[in-house]
Structure 1
Amino acid sequence: MRVRRGRQDPIPHLQPRRGAPAHQDVRPGLTGVPMSEISKRTFLATGLAAGAATLPLGVMAAEPGRKLGYAILGLGYYATQIIMPRFAECEHSRLVALVSGTPEKLKTFGEQYGIPESHRYSYETFDRIVDNPDVDIVYVITPNSLHRTFTERAAKAGKHVMCEKPMATSAADCQAMIAACKKAGRKLMIGYRSRFQAHNIEAIKLVREGALGPVRTVVTDHGFTIGDPKQWRLNKALSGGGSLMDIGIYSLNAARYLTGEEPVAVNAMESTDRSDIRFKEVEDIINFQLLFPSGATANCVSAYSANCNRYRVTGPKGWVEIDPATSYRGQSMRVQLGGPPAPREPAPQPKNQFSAQLDHLSECILTNQEPIVGGEEGLKDLRLIEAIYRAAREGRTIRL
């Protein structure tokens, strides 16, 4: 089944292209990462007005029992069809503001969700959000190259930040985002939704409890068939790279959270048909291997021309497999622990992965705790992505 995905919002000075097919995953029961289409023109971000003050940590969340207010920045498919409907299931979060480059979207979704005009912002007027006490958190859902800009602007406006993955297009930008939020006294969380999904939580639990024995191998494959060559994900200036920056980050992050370790070495090999118009600027397939301090290894696939979404983690006592593993829905788990392989239902979770993710940041703000997938998590992935690209380019093992 193919699930089509809609456009991202146009950004100032970046006009949408018409007629491009939406991003899609094509494994049964699978959906994928939201798509957007914008042109290659340079985005020129405006800074905050001089003298805009930030608020001390906890001020916005001080009212007992108040749900924290989110502003959704970017009204593409993922934001409007996946994230925004989930606020109805949240205990600690509510949708209070919208930011979009498309006035029609602001009107349509503003009316649908009861967002007053005073809480609807264009990208040019976004910085006025500093004066809106209803907004506690800005959720940045834009092309990758704009994550740093909007995270810094949101933090300077005194707002906490949820930022979609990959966190940015370089480790240096990730460090700047972390520094901006730290300077402003704001929380920064990256949208690793699978960490809140029941099957993934169960897999991590089994590994941590030693059900498999010491982890020896992880095999994880993530890919889909990408469509229109004009979409922003195939524009390196906007995406930062190809499949690895998009779907491959699921393979990378899964290897890290399944082992519970950080790699000490990487190998990689790229396979890209440069005669294919889709891959003039970015890679198609990257196979990469990770070596962990314990001696465990991970064999990972990232692809824009193969349809896969799965992982298996193994140890001397057995294995756990999820296929599909990190989709929006439809996860299926099998385990082999001393007997024949068998399906396994995970322990029930009180919330789905989306509402749980939204509420996690709100709860962290209310209790002054750090998110389990904070900015440092995003930075670690970007450092590894840079090492993987280097290993593929130089044809050698990169020691970390």
Structure 2
Amino acid sequence: MDENIGLVITDGEKSYKILEPVGIWGPQMNLIVYDAAVLGADDDLEKAPHFALKMIPEMGDLQEYHDMTLEDLHKSRKLADDVIARGYILPVTNSFYSEIRGKLTLCIVFPCKADVISLRSVMSTGPRFADGIPEAFIKIAMVRVVRGLQQIHNRIYNEKRMHHMQLTTNAIVFNHVSETVQLSYAATVYESGAILNDNNVYSMNKMLAWGLAPEVKGVDEPFGYVHAYDTAKSDIWLVGIAALELAYGKILVESRKELLQVARYICQVKVLPDTWEDLKLKSAELAADKDLPIKKRKLSNEEAITASLANVAKGRFSDCFAKFLAFCLDADLNKRASAMQLGKHAFLQEGVGSMINFRDIVVKGLSPHVLRVLGPKKPRC
């Protein structure tokens, strides 16, 4: 049994009782995030406010990661101090040091699963969105994600531009209190749900490794933890990967190479098949064709691509969404969007639906008849 369950820690004013594990975090995804209740005069845990709690000792084996976590905390606080940024970024509620079993321990408190739910959790906890959420709702979420990134990228910390670096669908959350989509960032990022589950197909550390932009240094198998970028555009790549996951649900790949093939296909063809398996198949066919001598190519010359586009039946996804993804997933940094450029893309500018509909249909799972109100408006690119 986890020795921290039932432990009571205090910040000098409030006391928090640790109830159960709710997620994992850290470089190896081996540190636990707990659900903790704020104790009141009657110690009624059902009525008490609940929060998520991270803990990490100041000294010892985890000292290096403690220092990185403290840096993340400062970054989160920097955004929380800005009235505009805190509308898009999930805030840290409290932070303090407490002596736990003789070790001075950094404790970070932030909204828990009762108040927020990640979009990955929405897709993985029921069959309704197991194969992705409708494009109209992806658009609503992406507007908030890109605006949140703009707030992050506009800030300087220790003379360096701030980056997200851990943006997945698990870091895109719906906040039930503010009733809007926000980004978990820095100190509030963790993987909810499966606790130390090596078979979890949604493993955040694996998706971050395979999903990282091609230019990120030091990314190879076995993958290490990345704590620094050279360019903010590496975050934009993660926006594209997150949007792909929202579109298709489980984006299972056997290797990083396979995911890069998918990105190249999207950038070249700018058409999205209805299923993830079909997208992988077409991506592999295009990659194999490009390896042939030019005269023998049947798929990867401009004429063939133009012809294939003319014959594509309109399916789940608009060409504008495909072009949005291509703007995120271009391997050429000069062609990949910045957060400001991405915010001006037609996909995020036209026909953006209601957050109330997003809440009711995607988060609460009510009847999808409201989809008729949203569309089918297809933005023009």
Asked if TM exceeds 0.5, the reply is: no
Q: TM-score, normalised by structure 1?
A: 0.28
Higher helix share: 2
Pair member with larger Rg: 2
Q: TM-score, normalised by structure 2?
A: 0.29
